[in-house]
């Protein structure tokens, strides 16, 4: 069975630690993907507006599963938007603002929203991941369609905070790890694998025809659903243990190395 879809996480996976990738090599591979009728999908916890900036040449002809599945865009067309009801949004915010040492971004379709009084270091960090980010006095008078919360906190508090959020808010939103010192709250069931499933149904692609790459907890469902789920060499042990296949380190163009094998139909793609 040949590969018909390639889905990539971005941070720690497709991108190196400098937030870059070998553009010339990838665009060459992408041209060959098109020749072989292989769809390319960016599946990330990041904001859609940031993701399209990495692919200016082809953003209009590929698909994006953004915000961990909260927003799915196919060839420039909205395919799906998750949405919290106003009362759910208010309950989440009421709880999150009580948590010590937690900085919050409310992720909406128009923009990300964060508090003006957070320190400048956090604002600078957030700006690297959110091309649209508004600073507001509070979270209660913001008009947008919300489908995710991103939380920044000390590493030492990550595990306990994850457990506490699951117990307190698990009926509305589910916490997943999204990287170094960060948690994403997503609507239950609206993860990356769900977004990929929508695209697969649109294009008539089976799970065993999907090649996916990831390195974090928010990639779990996607890596397990794909027939060829590759955990990165730099992924934590618990993520690597989930998958049969492993790709080289993100700083060694690991994703592009495996894509090359898929395009040439080398093992395990035979």
Residues tagged active-site: 9
- Put the strands of the sheet holding 112-115 in their side by side order: 133-136, 112-115, 103-108, 146-152, 182-186, 174-179
Round to whole Å and give the CA distance between 45 and 58. 20
How many Å apart are CA 232 and CA 248, to the nearest integer? Answer: 6
List, in sequence order, every beta strand (DSSP E) within the chain.
5-8, 39-43, 63-66, 71-74, 77-81, 103-108, 112-115, 133-136, 146-152, 174-179, 182-186, 210-214, 228-232, 245-247
Classify residue 101 by burial, with Cβ atoms within 10 Å: 0-12, 13-18, 19+.
Answer: exposed
Q: What would the two tokens of residue 254 be?
A: 């690991």
Order of all β-strands in the sheet with 210-214: 77-81, 71-74, 63-66, 39-43, 5-8, 210-214, 228-232, 245-247
């Amino acid at each position: 069975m040949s590969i018909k879809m390639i889905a990539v996480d971005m941070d720690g996976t497709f991108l190196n630690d400098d937030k870059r990738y070998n553009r010339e090599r990838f665009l060459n591979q992408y041209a060959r993907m098109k020749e072989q009728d292989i769809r390319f999908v960016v599946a990330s916890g990041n904001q859609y507006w940031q993701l399209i900036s990495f692919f200016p040449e082809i953003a209009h002809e590929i698909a994006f599963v953004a915000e961990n599945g909260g927003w799915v865009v196919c060839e420039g067309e909205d395919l799906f938007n998750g949405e919290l009801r106003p009362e759910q949004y208010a309950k989440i915010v009421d709880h999150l603002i009580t948590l010590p040492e937690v900085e919050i971004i409310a992720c909406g379709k128009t923009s990300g929203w964060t508090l003006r009084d957070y320190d400048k270091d956090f604002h600078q960090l957030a700006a690297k991941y959110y091309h649209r980010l508004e600073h507001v006095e509070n979270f209660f008078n913001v008009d947008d369609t919300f489908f995710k919360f991103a939380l920044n906190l000390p590493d030492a508090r990550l595990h306990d905070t994850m457990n506490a959020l699951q117990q307190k808010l698990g009926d509305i939103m589910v916490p997943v790890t999204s990287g170094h010192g960060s948690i994403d709250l997503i609507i239950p069931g609206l993860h990356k694998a769900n977004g990929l499933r929508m695209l697969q149904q649109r294009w008539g692609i089976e799970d065993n025809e999907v090649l996916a790459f990831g390195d974090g907890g928010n990639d779990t469902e996607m890596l397990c659903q794909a027939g060829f789920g590759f955990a990165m060499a730099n992924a934590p042990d618990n993520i690597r243990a989930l998958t049969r296949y492993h790709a080289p380190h993100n700083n060694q163009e690991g994703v592009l190395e495996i894509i090359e094998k898929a395009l040439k139909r080398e093992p395990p793609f035979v």
